[in-house]
């Protein structure tokens, strides 16, 4: 039985004051016991969030890590070992904003994935197709290639200690959501790709859906057999909305 995970990606949002408010709201949430909950603040606020959520069952992750696992001469980057030292347990790898705006390649992302794991962090590998790719009927090919590149570099066993987030690019921050059936089709294909190499890994890995998830559509999405929770962007900046999504995953 896979334990659902609901993860809030705060992206490049927040100030010390607004983060303090959000922490206050998160502390007040009644969270379902069967659901793992995590937030991914901007790095600058990780320490504030870690301290503010002390004693609350919410894990803290980072939105990115360096290709090199250990600290060193790499200006502007943060090593997985430093994230682990700060108390992070998870890290996003390959969010579409980083793939598209910053040009992160599959090859680079495999290195980040490996760096994270080597420091004990759980990578959350984000994959998903653009609208043009979906309209060209290439969704499964694109997602299969993004996943396949990590499997090829690191082996399918790497997914025994990882999470996958399927995030159609056209649904991120747009208010458009994949229907539960559209999302399920891709999630099932992702699991089948892993299953072809290792049935146990395929059974155990959590595959989150991300893309304009709100309390209003979460129950239906999370009700699909291969959707094991969500990666939530905009809605995770509102503690009450985020709490309602977490409770939807507990249903």
Give catalytic residue positions: 95, 167
Interface residues with ligand PEP (CB under 6 A)?
9, 11, 167, 172-173, 210-213, 231-235
* Residue indicated by tokens 């399927």: 166
Distance (Å, whole) CA 165 – CA 146: 12
Q: Which two tokens stand for residue 135?
A: 């309209």
CB nearer to ligand PEP: pick between 123 and 234? 234
What minimum distance in Å lies between the beta carbon of 232 and ligand PEP? 5
In the bound state, the residue with its beta carbon closest to ligand PEP is: 233
CB nearer to ligand PEP: pick between 201 and 235? 235
Cβ proximity of 180 and 171 under 8 Å: no
Distance (Å, whole) CA 136 – CA 58: 39
What minimum distance in Å lies between the beta carbon of 231 and ligand PEP? 5
For the chain, state the CA radius of gyration.
Answer: 17
Q: What are phi and psi of 39, to 5 degrees?
A: -130, 150
Distance (Å, whole) CA 177 – CA 205: 23
Distance (Å, whole) CA 106 – CA 111: 9
What minimum distance in Å lies between the beta carbon of 234 and ligand PEP? 3
CB nearer to ligand PEP: pick between 202 and 232? 232
CB nearer to ligand PEP: pick between 214 and 247? 214
Distance (Å, whole) CA 50 – CA 56: 10
What minimum distance in Å lies between the beta carbon of 156 and ligand PEP? 24
What minimum distance in Å lies between the beta carbon of 213 and ligand PEP? 6
What minimum distance in Å lies between the beta carbon of 203 and ligand PEP? 25
């Amino acid at each position: 039985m896979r334990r659902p995970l609901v993860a809030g990606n705060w992206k490049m949002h927040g100030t010390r004051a607004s983060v303090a408010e959000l922490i206050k709201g998160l502390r007040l949430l009644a969270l379902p016991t069967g659901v793992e909950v995590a937030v991914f603040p901007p790095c600058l606020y990780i320490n504030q969030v870690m301290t503010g959520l002390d004693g609350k069952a919410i894990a803290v992750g980072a939105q990115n890590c360096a290709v090199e696992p250990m600290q060193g001469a790499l200006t502007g980057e943060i090593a997985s070992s430093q994230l682990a030292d700060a108390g992070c347990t998870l890290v996003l790898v390959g969010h579409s904003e980083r793939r598209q705006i910053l040009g992160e390649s599959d090859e680079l992302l495999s290195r980040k994935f490996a760096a994270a794991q080597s420091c004990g962090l759980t990578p959350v590998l984000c994959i998903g197709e653009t609208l043009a790719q979906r309209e060209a009927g290439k969704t499964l090919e694109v997602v299969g290639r993004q996943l396949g590149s990590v499997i090829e570099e690191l082996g399918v066993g790497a997914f025994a200690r990882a999470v996958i987030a399927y995030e159609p690019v056209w649904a991120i921050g747009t208010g458009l959501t994949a229907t539960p059936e559209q999302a399920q089709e891709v999630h099932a294909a992702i699991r089948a790709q892993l299953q072809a190499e290792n049935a146990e890994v395929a059974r155990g890995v959590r595959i989150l859906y991300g893309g304009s998830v709100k309390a209003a559509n979460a129950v239906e999405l999370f009700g699909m057999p291969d959707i094991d929770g969500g990666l939530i962007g905009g809605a995770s900046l509102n503690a009450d909305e985020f709490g309602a999504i977490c409770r939807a995953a507990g249903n």
